[in-house]
């Protein structure tokens, strides 16, 4: 298997996960008849301390359903300027829901300040959109958002009558890194999205959780968006397997990322901020005159990375071995030596 450091979305199901998929009891999920889907939705809802869950195809769909479920046309949601719901989901809330996005500044550690949230919430004025929803994220670019900060922001939102949603695309990385439970992180939010197809290693799927009325409305929105699935138990079983066997092993990815970052920082002209490596992502920067050539150089050695311009990430996941991470470090060291020889 070619080592792929672009993202933890590239993981492939192993034999045991495929066996669980093959053995899954299935039914028609649109009718509510798929036992594997029903069990997964109940399991994730319990994990996150919410009454109900909804199995969807992706984190993007999950976040979109949440925004459309909480906001009406012409209302606004607040989110970080580089959070996924704002930056990486094709503007779906605005395009499909006529919901107005309001960006908030994000610090280097991925956090949003209390002052920024307060300043963004609109007064009751006919000239302005109605502030309805605060969307937060954990982790952000691999950085863990503390429960204390999340709680303070959701508290401000509640004071002003806003709903709250957490994009938990890599929530379990935060859980493993901080020893705060998933339900504790989720406690202050009206809804939470948990993606299972990233570091947890399932091939597809996210679960959106919230109260029963919210999830009932979300089920209608899922159908409207083309996300109603039939015998979806085959993928729900993969997600269930991932939750059983792939959460604790995230610590291996974190440890590997830390080791890669330390070793890369020892290479001349390779810039890595060691204090930014909190979970499975390493961000590095190379000199502008050499950076464009790294991708092709590593590809010749059988490794895949994102285009390195100017600052880029290397992501550790369950399909990255110690040998692969060793080859990565050695490859970057050889590249820099060749460029400066």
Report residue 330 as tokens.
Answer: 């050695």
Pairwise CA distance, residues 231 & 51, whole Å:
24
**Six token digits for residue 274:** 């060691």
Domain boundaries, the chain: 8-245, 250-336
Indicate if the pLDDT at residue 200 is higher than 90.
yes
Q: What is the mean pLDDT of residues 314-322?
A: 97
Residues in the chain: 341
The predicted pLDDT at position 308 comes to: 85
Residue 1 above 80 pLDDT?
A: no
CA gap 19, 8 in Å, rounded: 22
Distance CA 287, CA 290 (A): 6
Instruction: Identify the three-state secondary structure at position 55.
Output: strand
Mean pLDDT score, 44-58: 98
d(CA 320, CA 314): 11
Question: Tens digits of per-residue pLDDT, 107-135?
Answer: 999 999 999 999 999 999 999 999 999 99
**What does each C-alpha distance from 281 to 24, 266, 278 come to in angstroms?**
33, 18, 8
Q: Using the predicted structure, report yes or no on whether residue 104 has a pLDDT greater than 80.
A: yes
Q: Which of the listed CATH numbers 3.30.470.20, 3.40.640.10, 3.40.630.30, 2.60.40.420 matches domain 8-245? A: 3.40.640.10
Position 143 confidence tier, pLDDT thresholds 50, 70, 90: very high
Residues 69, 83: Cα–Cα separation, whole Å? 19
pLDDT computed for residue 309 by the predictor: 79
149: pLDDT confidence band, cut at 50, 70 and 90? Answer: very high
CATH class of the region 250-336: alpha beta
Could you please report the per-residue DSSP string of 74-143?
TEEEEEETTSHHHHSSTTHHHHHH-PEEEEE---TTS---HHHHHHHSPPS-TTSPEEEEEEEESSBTTB
Residue 310 has pLDDT above 90, yes or no: no
- CA-to-CA distance for 269 and 287, rounded, in angstroms? 7
- What is the tens place of the pLDDT at every residue in 232-271? 999 999 999 999 999 999 999 999 999 999 999 999 999 9
Please state, in angstroms and rounded to a whole number, the distance separating the CA atoms of residues 202 and 197.
Answer: 4
pLDDT mean over 202-217: 98
Distance CA 262, CA 202 (A): 29
E strands present in the chain: 52-56, 75-80, 100-104, 130-137, 163-168, 191-195, 206-210, 271-272, 281-285, 311-315
């Amino acid at each position: 298997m070619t080592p792929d450091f672009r993202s933890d979305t590239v993981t492939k199901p192993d034999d045991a996960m495929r066996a669980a998929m093959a053995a899954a009891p299935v039914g028609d999920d649109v009718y509510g008849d798929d036992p594997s889907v029903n069990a997964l939705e109940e399991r994730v809802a319990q994990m996150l301390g919410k009454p109900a869950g909804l199995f969807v195809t992706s984190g993007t769909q999950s976040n979109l359903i949440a925004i459309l479920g909480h906001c009406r046309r012409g209302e606004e949601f607040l989110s970080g300027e580089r959070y996924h719901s704002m930056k990486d989901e094709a503007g779906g809330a605005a395009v499909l829901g006529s919901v107005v996005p309001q960006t908030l500044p994000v610090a280097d550690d991925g956090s949003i300040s209390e002052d920024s949230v307060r300043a963004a919430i609109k007064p009751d004025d006919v000239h302005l959109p109605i502030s309805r929803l605060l969307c937060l994220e954990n982790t952000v670019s691999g950085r863990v958002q503390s429960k204390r900060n999340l709680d303070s922001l959701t508290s401000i939102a509640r004071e002003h009558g806003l709903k709250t949603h957490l994009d938990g695309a890599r929530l379990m990385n935060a859980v493993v890194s901080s020893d705060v439970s998933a339900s504790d992180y989720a406690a202050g939010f009206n809804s939470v999205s948990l993606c299972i197809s990233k570091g947890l290693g399932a091939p597809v799927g996210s679960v959106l959780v919230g109260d029963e009325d919210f999830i009932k409305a979300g089920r209608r929105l899922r159908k409207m968006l083309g996300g109603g699935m039939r015998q979806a138990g085959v993928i729900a079983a993969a997600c269930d397997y991932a939750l059983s066997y792939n959460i604790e092993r995230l610590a291996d990815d974190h440890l590997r990322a830390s080791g890669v970052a330390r070793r890369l920082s020892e290479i001349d002209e390779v810039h890595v901020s060691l204090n930014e490596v909190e979970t499975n992502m390493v961000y590095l920067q190379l000199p502008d005159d050499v950076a464009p050539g790294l991708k092709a150089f590593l590809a010749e050695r059988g490794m895949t990375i994102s285009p390195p311009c100017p600052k880029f990430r290397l992501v550790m996941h369950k399909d990255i071995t110690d040998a692969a991470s060793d080859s990565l470090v050695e490859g970057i060291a050889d590249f820099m030596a060749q460029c400066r020889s």
